[in-house]
Chains A and B, each alone.
Chain A
């Protein structure tokens, strides 16, 4: 089955620890994204990558880091510098063919930092 996988679904960490969230896709999409969603708020873009070995900061990149060494994988590290890391993290990938554009989301990871 083609799709995007994120693991784990629920993740608990102590304050001060770095944590890496995984995102894998087998859709052969070039572009991948990380979003964060907080209760009552829309999705906010953390980082995105349009091609392997390249990525750009989104609107709220501070305290996060990413890598894109493979087309299929776009892991997100939440560092101890992120002030409010508890949130629902969503990974997505996309493709555009002419006027057709589609973006698919993974099932998300709920991170709780205490």
Chain B
């Protein structure tokens, strides 16, 4: 089983719609969680950290469910510019700050 799993998609969603996707992680010792965004042929960029209480940044909401070992990302009122691959990232405790990446979920917003 992969340490971090995501549905690769692609998800094709009309502009203005709400879209959500999950990411599951296998190691219960995972401590820190992030969503990164990667545009085609570019480097990943941090979208948001995911906190235990859940957090929101504009149209984006991230949530963590430790009991079921998954994190989620919700995008409201989707824009064409939201088209990208979204990477789920986990840090497992141990002090070495080693990030484990999911394979990413490809999202395309359709006009």
Contacts and interface: CB of A to CB of B under 8 A. Distances in A.
A42 B43 CA distance: 12
A111 B32 CA distance: 31
Interface residues of B, number: 22
Contact of A42 (B41, B96, B104): B104
Q: For chain A, what secondary structure do more than half of its interface residues adopt (helix, strand, loop), or is it mixed?
A: strand
Contacts of B34: 101
A42 B45 contact: no
Interface string B77-104: 0000000000100010000111111111
Nearest to A35: B101
Given A42-B103, A48-B98, A108 B43 contact: yes
Interface of A: 31, 33, 35, 40-45, 48, 50, 56, 58, 88, 90, 94, 96, 101-108
Interface of B: 4, 8, 32, 34, 41-46, 49, 87, 91, 96-104
**Ordered nearest first, which 5 A-B pairs have the shortest CB separation?**
A105-B43, A42-B103, A42-B101, A43-B101, A108-B43
